[in-house]
Amino acid sequence: MDSVPAVSFRGVRKSFGAVHALRGVSFNVAAGEAHALVGENGAGKSTLLKILSGSLRPDSGELCLDGRPIALARPRDALAHGIGIVHQEMLAFPDLTVTANIFAGRELTRGGLLREREMRDRTRSLLERLHIPVSPDDLAGSLSAAYRQLVQVARALAFECRILALDEPTTSLTDAEVDHLFRVLADLKSRGTTLIYVSHRLPEVFALCDRITVLRDGSHAGTFERAATRADAIVRAMVGRDLPPRVAAGSGPRPSDQPRLTVDRLTRRPCFEDVSLTIRPGEIVCLFGLVGSGRSELLETLFALHARDAGAVLIDGVECRFATPRDAARAGLALVPEDRQQQGLFFNLDLRHNLVLPRETARSSLVVRPRAERTAAQEMIRAWSIKTPGPDTFPDSLSGGNQQKVVAARWLAMQPRILLMDEPTKGVDVGAKFEIHEIIRRQAREGMACLIASSDLPEVLELAHRVVVMREGRIQGEIAGERADEESVMRLATAEPGAAA
């Protein structure tokens, strides 16, 4: 790159107590390019972007814009320099409208007076541009996870910025939404905006980015030209090894088996209606659908978190009406929730408690047994290779993906008979994703029935013995795993109701 790089990191170091998040990272982002930033969970990607956004300051090293070193003391400075960031964790104002969320901190004003109408209009056009079917006056808190994430993106797009950095903006989006997003991003790029894109979804990376920088354990493991590299090379650079060849997907259920879980015309308006499906022991059923198609609500209802309007749930042929999630857990259900921050983690409790709490609750044990729990926690941390000093640390010091592992580990540790997972590998790196998939498969092989809601189509195709597609709260149809491909699944997911045979 002979032209002056738009952004360049020079020997950036950052550590949190004992943890070295970044150990001297240096690389350039050329003006007007789309630059991908990939790496395992905890590699330091978000930390790097937080430094770029002025919300963290490096311990040493410097950050240059157009070759000139700058010091960003607070987020406002970054915004002033035309740096827009979409943070990995959602930073919504639940009590404010979508408009207010999008313009928060940078409202359009005339002498301090808000220009409401103008902001609402711009919001509407922005939402249309991204194909987000929500009203500018909706409360952010009332949106489903995916829409909230898209609103975060919209926030960054609301203002012309020279440099736009997105930290895993698509974790709860399906290809349809991703396509819309990418069209917008490509458009921005063509108009000279420099993009920095963090993701664990390599296909996306290859689709969007010109160059790919890999971080490993907080240091720069190389920058690759897209044209001149292939996915497995990137993976090798990330993980430091080749991923072992995938063991053949579990034989799947024996047709003779009785269904483990039977859902019969389950209804909860307005979220889903007349949902019927069966899962046999050892079967992995993936629930695919576009954003807001009702998958999360369905899983949460199965786990007795919401009341059902109608329908029945049978386990091993006997109808069950769980009053509380505890009852469900006792009966051998487990739900790995969609939003680890809201629905998963206790940030006031250390990892030990976070890892054992659901198990102990389900067992309704009386006393706390610190020693036993510590060993159990350490075991899970090891088994899931969660990047952390130990069970005494607190969740907010973990990287996004490691947080996700914590949430998944604590439920799988209970050896459930029926596993419900909502976006199980949201924000998880390729290595960890591989591990999680392996674990799911293994458990399945041992006779666990799995219902997995995912918006990650490749994941769905890879895992599923059977793909069930939902649309606007209704089951659109099923496709056997081996016959399922992107095209057929997407057609079901987007087809008009009734159109599906």
Partner 1 sequence: MTTSNLGTATELRNRPGPRNLRLSSAWRTRELSTLAILAVEILFFAWYLAPDGDRSHPFLNFPNALLILKYSSIYGIAAIGAAMVIISGGVDLSPGAVIALASVVLGGLFVESGWSLGSSVTMAILAGLAAGVVTSALVVLVGLPPFIATLGVMGIARGAAFIFTQARFFDVSGALPPGWQPFGIPLDWFAPGAMIGLAVLFQILMVRFQWGRAIYAVGGNETAARFSGVAVGAVKTSVYVLAALLSAIAGVVLAVVQGQGKADLAMGYELDIIASAVVGGASLSGGRGSVIGAVLGTLIFGVLRNALPQIPGATFYDRLIVGFVVIVIVVMDQLLVRRGAR
Residues that bind Mg ion (CB under 5 A): 46, 88, 296, 338, 400
DSSP reduced 3-state for 290: coil
Count, residues near ligand ATP per rule CB under 6 A: 37
Residue number with CB closer to ligand ATP (280 or 402): 402
Residue 347: contacted member of Mg ion, ligand ATP, partner 1, none (CB under 5 to 8 Å, by partner type): partner 1
Closest contact distance (angstroms) between CB of 173 and partner 1 is 17
Closest contact distance (angstroms) between CB of 64 and partner 1 is 21
Nearest 10 degrees: Cα torsion 129, 131, 137, 141? -120
Subset of 367-386 contacting partner 1 (CB under 8 A)? 367-368
Determine the angle formed by the axes of helices 370-383 and 351-363, rounding to 10 degrees: 110
Task: Tell me which amino acid residue 208 is.
Answer: L
Q: Give the integer Cα–Cα distance in Å for 325 and 269.
A: 20
Q: Which of 123, 399, 454, 476 binds ligand ATP (CB under 6 A)?
A: 399
Based on the shown chain and the rule CB under 8 A, indicate whether residue 347 belongs to the binding site for partner 1: yes
User: How far from 354 is each of 228, 236, 281, 447, CA to CA, in Å?
Assistant: 43, 32, 29, 27
Q: Give the integer Cα–Cα distance in Å for 51 and 75.
A: 9
Residue number with CB closer to partner 1 (215 or 351): 351
Closest contact distance (angstroms) between CB of 97 and partner 1 is 6
Residue written as token pair 């769980």: 322
Subset of 282-311 contacting ligand ATP (CB under 6 A)? 289, 291-297
Based on the shown chain and the rule CB under 8 A, indicate whether residue 18 belongs to the binding site for partner 1: no
Residue number with CB closer to partner 1 (254 or 363): 363
Count, residues near partner 1 per rule CB under 8 A: 71
Give me the 324-343 binding string for ligand ATP, x by CB under 6 A, dash otherwise. Answer: --------------x-----
- Residue among 478, 420, 479 nearest 449 (CA): 420
Residue number with CB closer to ligand ATP (122 or 433): 433
Closest contact distance (angstroms) between CB of 41 and ligand ATP is 3
Q: Which of 398, 409, 452, 468 binds ligand ATP (CB under 6 A)?
A: 398
Question: What is the CA angle 443-446-452, rounded to 5?
Answer: 40
Closest contact distance (angstroms) between CB of 459 and partner 1 is 22
The window from 186-194, 212-220, 227-235, 341-349 that contacts partner 1 (CB under 8 A) reads 341-349
Closest contact distance (angstroms) between CB of 363 and ligand ATP is 29
Q: Give the integer Cα–Cα distance in Å for 332 and 322.
A: 12
Residue number with CB closer to ligand ATP (169 or 294): 294
Subset of 154-183 contacting partner 1 (CB under 8 A)? 155
465's tokens: 């013995």
CB neighbours of residue 394 within 10 Å: 16
Q: Which of 6, 36, 145, 285 binds ligand ATP (CB under 6 A)?
A: 145
Subset of 200-229 contacting ligand ATP (CB under 6 A)? none
Q: Which of 200, 260, 352, 417 binds partner 1 (CB under 8 A)?
A: 352
Nearest 10 degrees: Cα torsion 76, 82, 85, 91? 40
12's tokens: 């950036």
Number of residues that this document lists for the chain: 501
The window from 81-89, 274-282, 453-461, 486-494 that contacts partner 1 (CB under 8 A) reads 81-89
Give me the 421-460 binding string for ligand ATP, x by CB under 6 A, dash otherwise. Answer: ------x-x-------------------------x-----
Q: Give the integer Cα–Cα distance in Å for 426 and 446.
A: 25
Based on the shown chain and the rule CB under 6 A, indicate whether residue 387 belongs to the binding site for ligand ATP: yes
The window from 110-118, 169-177, 381-389, 445-453 that contacts partner 1 (CB under 8 A) reads 110-118
Based on the shown chain and the rule CB under 8 A, indicate whether residue 137 belongs to the binding site for partner 1: yes
Question: What is the CA angle 152-169-84, rounded to 5?
Answer: 55
Cis before 370? omega within 30: no
- Residue among 170, 220, 74 nearest 458 (CA): 170
Pairing of strands 19-30, 5-16: antiparallel
Residue number with CB closer to Mg ion (339 or 373): 339
Q: Give the integer Cα–Cα distance in Å for 70 and 62.
A: 7
H or E element that contains 440: helix 430-445
| β-pair partners for 5 | 30
- Residue among 464, 412, 482 nearest 443 (CA): 412
